[in-house]
Chains A and B, each alone.
Chain A
Amino acid sequence: MGKEADWLLRELPVLVERGVLDAPAAQRLREHYARTGGAAPSWGTILLAIGGAALVGLGIILIFAHNWENWTPGVRAVLSMLPLLAGQLACVHALKPGSRAWCEGAGLFTALAIGAAIALVAQTYQFGGDLPRFLLTWTLLALPLVYLLDASAVAALCWLGALGWTMADGHGWFSRGDTLREVLRLPIFLLLATLPLPHLLHHLRLDAGSARVAWLMRVALSVLVLGYGLSTPSRSFETLLFVYAGMAAVAVLAGRLWFAGARGLWGNPPVGLGLFGACAIALLATVLELWLDLDLEWNTLLLPAAALAALAVWLAYQNWLRDRSLLAPALALLTPMLFLLAALGEANAGIASVLGHVYALALAAALIRSGLSQAELPLANLGVLLVAALVMLRFFDSDLSYVLRGVGFIVTGVGFFAANLWLRRRLRRGAA
């Protein structure tokens, strides 16, 4: 990025001279690059700054948290604030037309120093432990730095803070959802997780294919999935299957629509994580015990699942208009199919499980077909992997002898290799 910006800035006089750009536009470009760090530093510099700030910040927390014996409470309180003041001074430097590396490093250091200051004052003055309140205060005080400094590392820290808060507030066990505090935990978590979102959206608009956006999305999606599950009261636990199905379908379909061209499944986190989730849920839907045990009652927490399912249908339609890929309708069907199987399962769990198999195989077929037609080997491989996983799963829960199971695994493994080879040949032939 740095080299390109340098090159562009050097080219500006030539471009103005030849009339490609007018002078005000050239000036705006110069100002833009001065603001975003002039000759923007490479990712290596930024990562070093983030890593350095994290290490120094954590080191200070450790050294200080290791009780220091020789100071009076007053001196300890001042010392607790020093890293925070140093971080704020670094932020002042970063706020001047500084570099992006300074913004990320100073932001992260200050964010960590806030937590250290509160924890150290609590220790110095013998405050009791209230972990959820501590994490919430810390996250909310760090959040403005995300926007003032455009600091993505702080955004990631705030997402982790939201996850930490919901885990600490639930005290490590799943609450039943009887009290106001338990009912409010999910909406508050979602609100907290939304707070750093405009930062991600801003960078999505700037450069959807950047590594920064990919990492922010990985953190945000992981926190959303984990936090949603941890915030859901245990009596509404069944709704998670449907909500996660909706999330997975929406993630894949939105990812394919808006980040098309991002590198592979890993480089496109919504598609990668979403497909993994959709395949896992499709596999789960084939398990007979799920439909035998599922006791789905009407619950307001099914509303998000229904809303996500509707969104997935709309996104699938947009995907279909674009590339006529079979994957779009297959994913749009995921949540409605689960609702249908839950209804059927009450009367006959066996039929629900059989239909679950039909769906899992249809999803695998759609993945292979889309992978082949769009020359995306990972997609086709995932389809084959889904079939292999389904076969293995049935081997596990059947009463076959170990020898037969062993043979079954070998056949599945060989089949997987053969299918992969066949897919590669097909793709190569397609490319030629």
Chain B
Amino acid sequence: MSPRLRWALFATVCVAQIAVPASMIVQHERTRASGTPWRFQTAPVDPDDPFRGRYVRLDFAVSRQPLFLVEREGRHVGLEDRLYAELIPDHRGFAALGKLHQQRPETGEYLDVFVRDIDYDREGGAPSYRVRLPFDRFYLPEARAPEVERAYAEASRHAQERTYAEVRIRDGHAALVSLVLDGKPVTD
């Protein structure tokens, strides 16, 4: 490999290495600035991830509801496959999930979700799916994480109407803005 080519390739690789984390930041900032705001009612859970710092693990009421594909599109859906869930507001102002799509919907609000559970209908009907939302953790300073974890467990059991995650969503991509426990926002 000639030195010039080697340097050119090295420069390209450096740009790519920086571009990946940088594009994550840009996508997040764009979603935060111009995404539609939604509130997701939480449900109780917790632990920690060796790759990153401490965080409070989040679960959501909508993740526990069985959802259905809008139509069979031929491809078999498996665990952790990415699907697109229609977003609709419920009567309390929280986000609810509608039908699931295998392709990005062309109209309406939707969210990227991941299959976490499949229930095959024994009588040959359509299987139902439960999904994991892409914002399933809230990072916090290490010293505060256990305390917030406890408050989260408490509030998501006993103050469900006032405990939720504020999220902005743009083209399926979600940016977690804040976590509200019993009406009080947790700052990171």
Contacts and interface: CB of A to CB of B under 8 A. Distances in A.
Contact of A119 (B51, B54, B75, B133): B51
A393 interface: no
Interface in A47-100: 65-69, 77, 80-81, 84-85, 88, 91-92, 95
B175 interface: yes
Nearest to A124: B139
Interface in B91-146: 114, 133-142, 145
B21 A118 contact: yes
* Chain A, interface SS category: helix
A129 interface: yes
A88 B133 CA distance: 35
Interface stretch (A171-179, A312-320, A348-356, A375-383): A171-179
B52 A123 contact: yes
Contact of A128 (B7, B80, B134, B140): B134
Given A67-B141, A126-B137, A179-B81, 13 more contacts: A67-B139, A69-B141, A118-B20, A120-B52, A123-B52, A123-B53, A126-B135, A127-B24, A144-B13, A148-B6, A178-B78, A179-B77, A181-B80
Contacts of B10: 91-92, 95, 144, 148
Contacts of B145: 67
A100 B107 CA distance: 55
B184 interface: no
B142 A95 contact: no
A131 B49 CA distance: 10
Contacts of B133: 128
B17 A129 contact: no
The 5 closest A-B pairs by CB, nearest first: A179-B78, A126-B176, A67-B53, A69-B141, A121-B21
Contacts of A234: none
B173 to A, nearest CB: 10
A192 interface: no
A211 B176 CA distance: 49
A77 to B, nearest CB: 6
A182 interface: yes
Interface of B: 6-7, 9-10, 13-14, 16-18, 20-22, 24-25, 28, 49, 51-55, 75-81, 114, 133-142, 145, 175-176, 188
Interface residues of A, number: 45
Contacts, number: 115
B21 A65 contact: no
A366 interface: no
Query: Could you say which of A65, A126, A141, A178 has the most chain B C-beta atoms within 10 Å of its C-beta?
Result: A126
Contacts of A123: 52-53, 55, 139
Contact of A129 (B25, B79, B137, B175): B137
A199 to B, nearest CB: 13
A125 interface: yes
A230 to B, nearest CB: 15
Query: Could you say which of B10, B13, B16, B21 has the most chain A C-beta atoms within 10 Å of its C-beta?
Result: B21
Interface of A: 65-69, 77, 80-81, 84-85, 88, 91-92, 95, 110, 114, 117-131, 134, 137, 141, 144-145, 148, 169, 171, 175, 178-182
Nearest to A135: B51
B17 A178 contact: no
A137 B16 CA distance: 11
A131 B137 CA distance: 13
B18 A81 contact: yes
Contacts of A119: 51-52
Contacts of B16: 141
Contacts of B25: 77, 121, 125
A125 B145 CA distance: 16
A129 B24 CA distance: 13
B120 to A, nearest CB: 11
Contacts of A85: 18
B13 A65 contact: no
Contacts of B136: 128-129
A231 B75 CA distance: 21
Nearest to B133: A128
B165 to A, nearest CB: 10
Contacts of A120: 21, 52
Nearest to B52: A123
Given A88-B14, A145-B13, A81 B80 contact: no
Contacts of B7: 95
Given A67-B54, A67-B142, A81-B21, A125 B28 contact: yes
B144 to A, nearest CB: 8
A65 B52 contact: yes
A129 B49 contact: yes
Contacts of B77: 179
Contacts of B17: 84, 88, 110, 114, 117, 141
Contacts of A66: 53, 142
Contacts of A114: 17, 20
Contacts of B51: 65, 119, 131, 134
30 contacts: A65-B51, A66-B142, A67-B54, A67-B139, A67-B141, A81-B21, A84-B21, A85-B18, A95-B7, A95-B10, A117-B17, A119-B51, A122-B52, A124-B139, A125-B24, A126-B138, A126-B188, A127-B134, A128-B135, A129-B49, A131-B51, A141-B20, A144-B9, A144-B10, A145-B13, A148-B6, A171-B80, A179-B76, A180-B78, A182-B78
Contacts of A68: 141
Nearest to B76: A179
Contacts of A121: 21, 24-25
A175 B115 CA distance: 14
Given A81-B18, A95-B7, A125 B135 contact: no
